[in-house]
Every structure is written in C-alpha cells, then in structure tokens.
Amino acid sequence: MPKVAANLTMLFNELPFLDRFAAAAEAGFKGVEYLFPYAFDKGALAERLQQHGLTQVLHNLPAGNWEGGERGIACHPDRVGEFQDGVGRAIEYATALGCQQVNCLAGIAPAGVDTDKVHATFVANLRFAADKLKGAGLRLLVEPINTYDIPGFYLNRTAQAAALLDEVGADNLFIQYDIYHAQRMEGELGNTIAKYLPRIAHIQLADNPGRNEPGSGEINYAWLFRHIDRLGYAGWIGCEYKPAAGTREGLGWIQALAG
C-alpha cells in the first residue's frame, strides 16, 4: 500500500482550514497537501504540521485569480513578472513548511495568442522556476489536467509533460501524475505509470466518474496500488478527491485496499 496524504483542500472541508490538520492526523494520515498556503501565516501552518506530526507533501505555485476562474498563469506571456514573483513566494512557504516540492499549474491557454509563444513562455517560466527552486533544494512539478474539467488547460497529457521535461532540461523538474486526470484524458494507467515512473515525483488520486474516493467508480485501485508498489514507487499519493458523503464516512477505502 503506497503512503497516502490528505488533500486538505478537498478532505475535511466541513472544518475551518487550520482545523483540518488535526482531523487528518486523527484519521491516520501522516502527510498533507493542499492547493495554496498563501492565505495563511507560514508560522501558523508550520505549527499545525509540527503539532500533529504531519509532513507537508506538496503545494502549488501561486496560480493567478483562482476564485475568478484562473487555473495557473505559467503559459501566459503577459504574466511573466507575476509568475516570477510567485516563485519567490512559493520558495518562502515551502522552506518554512519543510515541503520538498511545489507544483506549477500551466493554466488555460490564453485566447488569441500564438501557440508557439504560449509554449515558449511556459518553457521559459519552467526553466526560471526550476533554477530558483534548485537553489533552495526543492523539486518543481508539472501536472497534466484533463480538458473536460478545465477546458483549454494547456498541459493535459503525460507524454506532453515528458516532452516538456526534455525541453526544459532541469534535473529537478518532474511530473505530477494525477490518476483521475490521466484516466479521463488517456487511460492506460498501468503502462503509463510504468513507462514514466522515473520522471514521476508525486501521484494524486480520485475515482472516475465523479472524482470521488477510490472504489466509487471504474478504476481498479486494488490492482493499481499493487502495481505501483511492484514498480517501487517511493513517493506520496495525494488523496485529491471529493468525498461522496463526508470525509470520515468515506475513508474505509484505505483499510480495504491495505488489507
């Protein structure tokens, strides 16, 4: 059974955010991740992690106006300065929280901009971020996201992400492989994970359809977890799913798959 981390953006979301750390620890999680830490004081977050014996596994770079529908700015030619400022802020938080990796959301491709310019902007931003993060001893991740949930999202397939890694050429740049997004875009989960495992530094999960907990849909998580173990994956798997009936009520899948 791979080690799993609670995504506090999705899980225990009936609680105020800072109370979710205790709830995750009480439920048996040893690691946590979430979209963004920036609305909270670094010290308050670090205190929750230390108090409850939790590892901060992942958070994202700043991604623009999330509440306004933006889903990243890394591929936006007119937002490079904002992106670079966000890299510095992410490093400050990751360092304070003991988080070893941060994820870069490519964003929705901007309308009316030449595709070559969009691509060149993304590559240049990844090179900048990878260099700055390497100086801080951190990994940078990029995540393909399905275009059914986020129409127009620029990075949406595993092979595309691998090609980006080749082009950027940074040894601290890896793929964040989200099983749910991959199932929607390309399927072939077992062979794809095996093929790209050396380039995958983090995995996330949810079942499909519905993006609920494992066991609620079509993905054979019992087989997939055994497969991931056989491959020797040593990283975390973030539980980034929408609980169907409440977080605690839906956690039985962990015991069922571990048994």
Of the candidates 140, 146, 158, the residue with the CA atom closest to the CA atom of residue 197: 158
Exactly one of 33, 82, 143, 167 is catalytic; which is it? Answer: 143
The token pair that represents 32 in the structure block: 């946590």
Residue keyed to tokens 């409440």:
246
Exactly one of 26, 92, 188, 240 is catalytic; which is it? Answer: 240
d(CA 67, CA 45): 22
Tell me the three state secondary structure of residue 205: strand
d(CA 176, CA 145): 10
The answer to whether 102 and 138 have CB atoms below 8 angstroms apart is: yes
Q: Indicate if 47 belongs to the active site.
A: no
SS3 content of the chain, % helix, strand, coil (to 5): 45, 15, 40
Q: Which helix (H) or strand (E) holds 102?
A: strand 101-104
d(CA 224, CA 227): 5
d(CA 258, CA 84): 42
List of residues 6+ apart from 199 with CB closer than 8 A:
162, 165, 174, 175
Q: Indicate if 213 belongs to the active site.
A: no
- In this structure, what DSSP letter does residue 150 have? S
Residues with catalytic roles: 143, 240
